Structure 1
Amino acid sequence: MLTTTFTTTGTAGAAVPAGFTDTAVISGLSSPTNAVFAPDGRVFVSEKSGLVKTFDSLADTTATVTADLRTQTQDFWDRGLLGLTLDPAYPTRPYLYVLYTYDAEPGGTAPRWGDQCPTPPGATDQGCVVTGRLSKLTIGTNGVATGAEQVLVTDWCQQYPSHSVGTVAFGPDGNLYVGGGDGASFNFADWGQRGNPCADPPGTAGTNLSPPDARGGALRSQSPRRPAGEPETLDGAITRVHPDTGDTEIVAYGLRNQFRFAFRPGTAEVWAGDVGWNTWEEINRVTSVTDAAVENFGWPCYEGSARQSGYDGANLTLCESLYSTGQTTPYYAYNHSAPVVSGDGCPTGGSSISGIAFETDSNYPAAYDDALFFSDSSRGCVWAMQRGSNGLPDPATIVPFVTGVNVPVQILTGPGGDLYYVALGAGQLRRVSYPAGTNLPPTAVASANPTSGTAPLTVQFTGSASSDPEGGALTYAWDLDGDGAYDDSTAANPSHTYLAQASVTARLRVTDPGGLSGTASVVITVGDPPSNSPVVTIDDPTAATQWSVGQTIPFAGRAADAQDGDLPASALSWQLTLQHCTSSTNCHAHNVQSWNGIAAGSFVAPDHEYPSFLDLTLRATDSDGNTTTETVRLNPRTVDLTFTSSPSGARLVVGTVEQATPFTRTVIVGSANTISAPSPQNLTLGLRFRFASWSDGGAQSHTITAPASPATYRANYQLCLFGC
């Protein structure tokens, strides 16, 4: 299936409750991940690539580059510059703290891989191993970092391209608190059986680990429970870090990917959103980071409140010993297949909890006082868990707050006590206000004369008809070239000359003294851009192409338009996206890799659970800036694997699901799948049986590579004659 689109400026397109407004306060960002508000009005913003930018205020439309960490940051899949916070004593202590995927293997130096993962080793096969890094930047009075970064911590060995680092935030005790995921596979139950590059015990780097004693892969999240003398890692943990010395101490662990967390105001409580595997998203409450007790939230032995079948079935010692004592259960969890709130309009299936924030000093209605806000980047929604009678957020009173967000990756409170959120997909920082308070937003009115004509076309814009209900003086910011950034004029009534054929949406943003904004737009047509936009053709691969894991797929394409003729390779860019689906109509995207300035190349098809498919998009930009994209959908080759047992009826674990035999699973050819045969089990006539062998000769828990043809795997059990 091929699709072609013309570029327009992206917006979050979100809906809020009656009486609220949702406005973009900073636009034109490239994959933003964090925003931080400084007491002097500055706004620091991080981008996934490794850039940190500074805006002098919310009305500033031109960013200053504070720091460029792109060389040492790996921006690949879910890796990148993901955490940012400001010293609470700023500007007396002019420090900004950054948390990013450090593009180096343990003990190595960056850059190791660049923003890619070649095959071999393969992103989802052996993995391109990197680490995480927390650094301290000194910010000058001009908003630019001075001197070299001060590295505080380098840790978080990460084999696979997700579950990287996440949040860095200051606690009430003046220390930093940092989160990092397990760095393990999201496709199979990972205990270190794929090369063990992080040198987890009881083996060494390059030595595959096996149950029951394996303590690698996702089990790094349980490293504080390793035997004495074995290394304790920061993977899957929330860690206290001294902001000057980098000294570390784990305060909570047993987490899979606690991408975002926040302190409840006035307390030492941490509330963390933990991204689940295929079933549960969690909100976990650390009751006090200053207590001596260190809480264990159970991953990978548990997901939600239940045992995780993929790891439980492997009879791993670290899990079996935890089952006798139990985990700290989630404060709240929601199932991937269920709505958070009935009728909230948010899609179910794919889920990734991606933001945590508390209401603080807003003018919102009383029902939102002390509410816990949380977001899901896959569902594109923000909810409010309202305060209960005990003063804590009440899971029984959750209401939808913002729906239809274009990939929310952070929520926070800021000026005016309002909730702000970073929409990575829209490239925006947005603000949710309640105008029913003392300050109402201004009304923007934009007009243009003329609105069409041949190039060169000089257009006089008028914005002076805009107004503020309170009569406050307005500031003006125009996006006259249609690039999404309000950085072309601050005059009320500017003019602009268009030199090339195009259809441009010019936008005006007016801001009142209280920081509230209103926007308006007008379309300027110069010539006839549709006939002059590039025509894009993807020659290879075609929609008929089907791929298996590890297969090299060549690609080639071209573009031309009436004015420029054939466009050069420098005008082309490619994006490979993996669409992870829970049904035929419910998918969410993971950007895998991009290429700029080439007409042809190749990629290696990644491993992923089924159902999923790949989108390959070619974008062409002509000399006038007109842009067209074409996308080809590439479906995987699949195979049915049948699982039986002797005697029949045994409960086997494949991936994340346990099921009684016989049953069949559809998987992608070449994919890695963990299978386990729990033992002992009550089978025929209720008698006790123990595991004896698999038909493929594998261990009781092992990983299989899906063959090209249907196959059957049989688990054999023996009767326990003298007890099991």
Structure 2
Amino acid sequence: MRRLLTLLVVTGSLAGAGSASAGVLPAGFTQTTQWNGLGNPTVIRFAADGRVLVASKSGIVSVFDSLDDPSPTVLTDLRGAVHDYWDRGLLGMALDPRFTAGRPYVYVLYAYDKPGWGDGCPAPPGPTADGCVISGRLSRIAADGNETVLIEDWCQQYPSHSVGSLEFGPDGQLYVSSGEGASFNWADYGQAGAPLNPCGDPPGTVGSTLSAITSQGGALRAQAFRRPAGQRVALGGSILRVNPDTGAASDGNPAGASADPNRRRIVAYGFRNPFRFTLRPGTGEIWSGDVGWNTWEEINRTQNLAQVRNYGWPCYEGAPKLGAYDTLDNRSCETLYAEGGVTAPYFAYDHAEPVVPGETCTTGSSSISGLHFYRGAAFGAAYDGALFFGDFSRNCIWVVHKGDDGLPDLRTRETFAAQADGPVWLTQGPNGALYYADLSGGRVQRIAATDSAPTAHITATPTAGAVPLTVTFDGRGSTDPDGRALAYAWDLDGDGAYDDAATARASFTYRSPGAVAVRLRVTTAAGVTASATRTITAGAPPTVTISAPSPATTWAVGDAVSFSGSARNGAGDALAAARLTWSLALRHCSRTDAGVCHTHALQDFVGVASGQFVAPDHEYPSHLQLSLTAIDAAGLSATRTVRLDPRTAELELRAEPAGLALTLGSETLPTPFSRTVLAQSQNAVGAASPQLLDGVAYTFASWAGGPASTGFVIAPASGSATYTARFVAASAPSASPDTPAPPSTPPVVRPAAPQLLGAWGFDRGANRGANRGANRVAGRHGKALRLDGKTRFVVRAPRLPTFTVEAWVYATRAGTVAQRGDAFRLPTPARTRWTHLALTYDGTTVRTYRDGTRVGARRAALAATTRPLRFGAFTGRLDDLRVYDGALTATQIAADRRAPVR
């Protein structure tokens, strides 16, 4: 059932320090909000003189005089140059190593809106169809805000995998990362665009059609370092080392003798989106987080700069070859497969798996988004030298402790901050605290150790009301772990000075409407401090109304969606359109759990009461959120949000003969299979040729209802569509008459392979099973059975002296997945995530597997009963059930886990 949801959020628009916030941390740590109301912060930098600089995605660099400063000044406003759209914006910032010693320079890396799209992308060309092409800029900002452009390059066709991070190395050189600017919806080799090949990638020029086999465009820009001499090297999907004064390649770069200036700059390549990276202290090593496509997130180590290392994208994702690009038979990938030489990830985690077994962090939607090596003893000796990394989509931060060799020991990885708030940047402050940028919440968050520091706490009564508003504050909930006495200092009027009261309790009367950040600072006799903030809203916030679209509105890709709304202040007066801002966001959710989503901020419409946008294309499941924010003359604000769900269609891919693999979007799977997609979406399909099936080689012949061997299909506006790839069997090889007969050898007797007795995907009905009371809902693949703990799926099977049962399970309440009388029982796994379970019996040993890994084994003599197999004595969902008449191996179970039942 489609959810109809309208949210109302009332806030004050201000920046404040030290308010309590969410986050599940280890004992001895606490998270507080350092500042809020920052738009979409992307980078935090601490200067040696106490100043703190915060970059926002829109293009503003703000400066706080200290951690106690509630109101920043603006160093530079680049909004007129920055393309703040989807995942584009001002994403990288670094301070000159001598920022406070004669070189007060700030370096910024941003998506440059040279064509003048105006923080949008009209259709046509459409953001995910042909793409609004932009470039990237690396610039140096002086103390007076003036900009000097050092590099303008990085052709980017699609609105993600944009520019990334900046870091200064111990050598004083500037390191720069960027994504490849390709499509995230299909295997992109440069086949789309208006004009075609808009980045002019070889072997063609702008406007030319590229071949899947010879193209070096699209995601293959990440392999541009390997282009033949004479072809211009692109910077996408790479890490550079450049001179901070000129932007030219640094002296000593490994490709410094090249005639191509971009090749000289590159020190590592083959990345999809190395959005964040850091340097390991004392070594100069580059540790980068590469945001994956559908399966793997990577942490990569570049341990020396004597050679330029290739990390494999798009030919590889994680350690394996990437099927959607392997299918293209592209020469850049095929030669790389033959040559080898790809550097494997230091660590990679599967989107469907937890980073730490048993943790509460969600799986499915994933995007690695921050790395930092911790230095010092403020967190305790165990954390000195540890690697912290975060995931924006999973809302979690992990730590990997240092091993005996000084490197992160992956066996020590732990969940550090569960339920973190959209971290996109991790760094360490001068006080030893860990800070991160909360992109979606507009906040800078602070995680600190509490072992020896006090904790400040404020209660306020009331926190909002009409003016004049008298509020009583109480700081007696503040504590010190050592029981030391605390001194109190209050900033009750929000001017940044702790000079309004010095007792544990205080009061203040607010006579003017507005939102005020009230702060309390507590101090021990030894001078150790802590602070907290509480926002007081004096006066009534605006009332916001969204007239259109209604929550019942649905959309297909390319639809024009109109919006309109209004707001009134607390006195009931209409607010002018200039005080309204609309924000459009896309929520992309996990295929395995539609409740696990991450946000792409698409576009803002500022100072208008009405307008129109074109519904975008994206992978399913996804939906739109449209928000209207009003800010009155007193600075009080309110936001109303409406969720807009899409219409969908079903695409089915078949092959003749069945079993051959086809590609749809990012997936390459054996046929037949189907996928739910957005209505009217553009989808890439492909057929690798030749392929082997049962020892016979088949070559692709044609599509029935599809394109050439690789191309696009447009999903219908509703219903379903089927595309069938026809293959032709190659002639079987024949023996030469002169070939001598092989010598006679006794036959090898092998045990019969387990036979599949039944498989149920629940997409079109159950095969030889009784579906007692369960109904169909979204599953791990296609549809699943929804179970309430009382209903069962019953399979009548013969006596089985050996067997295997497998299923995907999403349990919301514990119970039993499978049972056959008293012979065996398979319990549910950890709740609220899809888990692949398997139980095998070979006549002597029962083995259990979770997500392809054996987790238990015991000797047993199970009775070969004729009682039916019963599945589903739990609350949740059941999908892709299989029963075999023998015990599968771990390899066979892992293969089933990857292949949906069709």
What TM-score, normalized to structure 2?
A: 0.73
Deviation for aligned residue 1:616: 1.7
The one-letter code matched in structure 2 to 1:604 is V
d(CA) in 2 for partners of 1:706, 1:506: 51
Aligned to 1:39, which of 43, 48, 51?
48
1:77 corresponds to: 86
1:554 corresponds to: 562
Does the CA contact (< 8 Å) of 2:456 and 2:522 recur in 1?
no
Q: What SS does structure 1 have at the residue aligned with 2:409?
A: strand
d(CA) in 2 for partners of 1:227, 1:511: 64
d(CA) in 2 for partners of 1:501, 1:336: 47
Question: 1:9-48 CA distances to partner (integer Å, 9 max, x unpaired)?
Answer: 6975122210112233333322111111111222111111
Equivalences for residues 96-111 of structure 1 within 5 A: 96-105=106-115
Larger Rg belongs to: 2
1:7 is aligned to 2:10: yes
Deviates more, 1:374-383 or 1:54-63: 54-63
1:351 is aligned to 2:362: no
Deviates more, 1:89-98 or 1:40-49: 89-98
1:643 corresponds to: 653
1:538 is aligned to 2:552: no
1:313 corresponds to: 327
1:674 corresponds to: 684
Question: 1:490-530 CA distances to partner (integer Å, 9 max, x unpaired)?
Answer: 3242986534678x67531426597752215386776xx4x
1:519 corresponds to: 532
Does the CA contact (< 8 Å) of 2:583 and 2:626 recur in 1?
yes
1:109 corresponds to: none
Does the CA contact (< 8 Å) of 1:260 and 1:355 recur in 2?
yes
d(CA) in 1 for partners of 2:492, 2:87: 31
The one-letter code matched in structure 1 to 2:689 is S
Does the CA contact (< 8 Å) of 2:202 and 2:215 recur in 1?
yes
1:161 corresponds to: 159
Deviation for aligned residue 1:569: 2.8
Q: CA 1:243–1:100 in 2, change beyond 3 Å: closer, same or farther?
A: same
Question: 1:522-550 CA distances to partner (integer Å, 9 max, x unpaired)?
Answer: 86776xx4xxx554433322233221111
1:131 corresponds to: 135
Q: CA 1:104–1:722 in 2, change beyond 3 Å: closer, same or farther?
A: farther
d(CA) in 2 for partners of 1:525, 1:224: 59
d(CA) in 2 for partners of 1:550, 1:535: 32
Q: CA 1:522–1:320 in 2, change beyond 3 Å: closer, same or farther?
A: closer
Equivalences for residues 326-345 of structure 1 within 5 A: 326=340, 327-345=342-360
Deviates more, 1:88-97 or 1:328-337: 88-97
Deviation for aligned residue 1:620: 3.6
Deviates more, 1:58-67 or 1:309-318: 58-67
1:89 corresponds to: 98
d(CA) in 1 for partners of 2:50, 2:565: 47
d(CA) in 2 for partners of 1:198, 1:393: 39
How many pairs align? 695
1:613 corresponds to: 623
Q: What SS does structure 2 have at the residue aligned with 1:29?
A: coil
d(CA) in 2 for partners of 1:692, 1:192: 24
The one-letter code matched in structure 2 to 1:330 is P
1:699 corresponds to: 708
Pairwise CA RMSD: 2.8
Deviation for aligned residue 1:567: 4.1
Deviation for aligned residue 1:261: 0.3
1:406 corresponds to: 421
d(CA) in 2 for partners of 1:454, 1:45: 34
The one-letter code matched in structure 1 to 2:124 is P
Question: 1:31-85 CA distances to partner (integer Å, 9 max, x unpaired)?
Answer: 1111111112221111111111212221222212111211111111111111111
d(CA) in 2 for partners of 1:154, 1:372: 32
Q: What SS does structure 2 have at the residue aligned with 1:78?
A: coil
1:120 is aligned to 2:124: yes
Unaligned residue ranges in structure 1 (runs of 5+): 106-111, 481-485
Does the CA contact (< 8 Å) of 1:447 and 1:463 recur in 2?
no
Q: CA 1:447–1:13 in 2, change beyond 3 Å: closer, same or farther?
A: closer
The one-letter code matched in structure 2 to 1:570 is A
Deviation for aligned residue 1:457: 3.8
Question: 1:264-293 CA distances to partner (integer Å, 9 max, x unpaired)?
Answer: 01002100000001111100111113x1x1
d(CA) in 1 for partners of 2:711, 2:679: 17
Q: CA 1:516–1:604 in 2, change beyond 3 Å: closer, same or farther?
A: farther
Does the CA contact (< 8 Å) of 1:679 and 1:691 recur in 2?
yes
Deviation for aligned residue 1:622: 4.9
Does the CA contact (< 8 Å) of 2:423 and 2:439 recur in 1?
yes
Question: 1:567-608 CA distances to partner (integer Å, 9 max, x unpaired)?
Answer: 443343222111101123111111111212322211001110
d(CA) in 1 for partners of 2:20, 2:465: 28
The one-letter code matched in structure 1 to 2:595 is T
d(CA) in 2 for partners of 1:467, 1:639: 57
Deviation for aligned residue 1:561: 6.5
1:578 is aligned to 2:589: no
Does the CA contact (< 8 Å) of 2:84 and 2:603 recur in 1?
no
Does the CA contact (< 8 Å) of 1:12 and 1:405 recur in 2?
no
Q: CA 1:627–1:39 in 2, change beyond 3 Å: closer, same or farther?
A: closer
Deviates more, 1:534-543 or 1:713-722: 534-543
Q: What SS does structure 2 have at the residue aligned with 1:349?
A: coil
Q: CA 1:715–1:66 in 2, change beyond 3 Å: closer, same or farther?
A: same
2:854 corresponds to: none
d(CA) in 2 for partners of 1:447, 1:633: 34
1:108 corresponds to: none
The one-letter code matched in structure 2 to 1:169 is E
1:250 is aligned to 2:251: no
Does the CA contact (< 8 Å) of 1:446 and 1:522 recur in 2?
no
d(CA) in 2 for partners of 1:168, 1:578: 27
d(CA) in 1 for partners of 2:682, 2:139: 36
The one-letter code matched in structure 2 to 1:508 is R
The one-letter code matched in structure 2 to 1:615 is Q
Q: What SS does structure 1 have at the residue aligned with 2:410?
A: strand
d(CA) in 2 for partners of 1:17, 1:161: 37
Deviates more, 1:406-415 or 1:351-360: 406-415
Q: What SS does structure 1 have at the residue aligned with 2:106?
A: strand
Deviates more, 1:34-43 or 1:627-636: 627-636
1:288 is aligned to 2:304: yes
Q: What SS does structure 1 have at the residue aligned with 2:716?
A: coil
Deviation for aligned residue 1:703: 2.2
2:439 corresponds to: 424
1:216 corresponds to: 217
The one-letter code matched in structure 1 to 2:432 is G
d(CA) in 2 for partners of 1:454, 1:447: 15
Deviates more, 1:255-264 or 1:537-546: 537-546
Does the CA contact (< 8 Å) of 1:571 and 1:597 recur in 2?
yes
Q: Percent identity?
A: 48
Does the CA contact (< 8 Å) of 2:460 and 2:471 recur in 1?
no
Does the CA contact (< 8 Å) of 1:59 and 1:511 recur in 2?
no
Deviates more, 1:693-702 or 1:6-15: 6-15
Question: 1:339-382 CA distances to partner (integer Å, 9 max, x unpaired)?
Answer: 11123221111111110100111322232221110001111111
1:508 corresponds to: 519
Aligned to 2:607, which of 590, 597, 603?
597
Q: What SS does structure 2 have at the residue aligned with 1:318?
A: helix
Question: 1:458-500 CA distances to partner (integer Å, 9 max, x unpaired)?
Answer: 66868799788798997957475xxxxx545432429865346
d(CA) in 1 for partners of 2:216, 2:197: 10
Q: What SS does structure 2 have at the residue aligned with 1:206?
A: coil
Q: CA 1:670–1:723 in 2, change beyond 3 Å: closer, same or farther?
A: farther
Deviation for aligned residue 1:93: 2.2
2:767 corresponds to: none
d(CA) in 2 for partners of 1:618, 1:216: 39
Deviation for aligned residue 1:651: 0.8
